[in-house]
Amino acid sequence: MSLLAGRAYLSGGPQMAQVFTHLGYPQQLRIILGIAKPLGAIALLVPGMALLKEWAYAGVIFDLTGAVASLFASGLVAVGTTAYPVFMIGVAFASWTLRPPSRRLA
């Protein structure tokens, strides 16, 4: 999800730019998130580096909860707009909780 989102953010498509504008965020944030999201996804996929993975999971949760909060604050609250990030929060939390002991911090 983060790899695809990063690509979409960096593509600079008019729809993505319009969403950031509607939410009241500068386009620079779109670029920053477009770089950070794939880096976090790579950190989760690469073996080892348990501490980096903890930070990547935290980043995913911060990003998704921020997305939900932004949707509520901007008035874009609808099942279609909030269901996906809420679902992905659950997926990220399940992934973090159910990871094997070898991938956890000591």
Q: 3-class secondary structure for 82-95?
A: HHHHHHHHHHHHHH
pLDDT above 90: percentage of residues in the chain: 59
Burial class of residue 10 (count of CB atoms within 10 Å of its CB; 0-12, 13-18, 19+): middle
The pTM score is 0.86
Q: What is the per-residue pLDDT for 9?
A: 93
Q: What is the per-residue pLDDT for 52?
A: 93
Confidence of residue 13 (pLDDT cuts 50, 70, 90): confident
Confidence of residue 106 (pLDDT cuts 50, 70, 90): confident
pLDDT tens figures, 18-65:
989 988 999 999 999 999 999 999 999 998 889 999 999 999 999 999
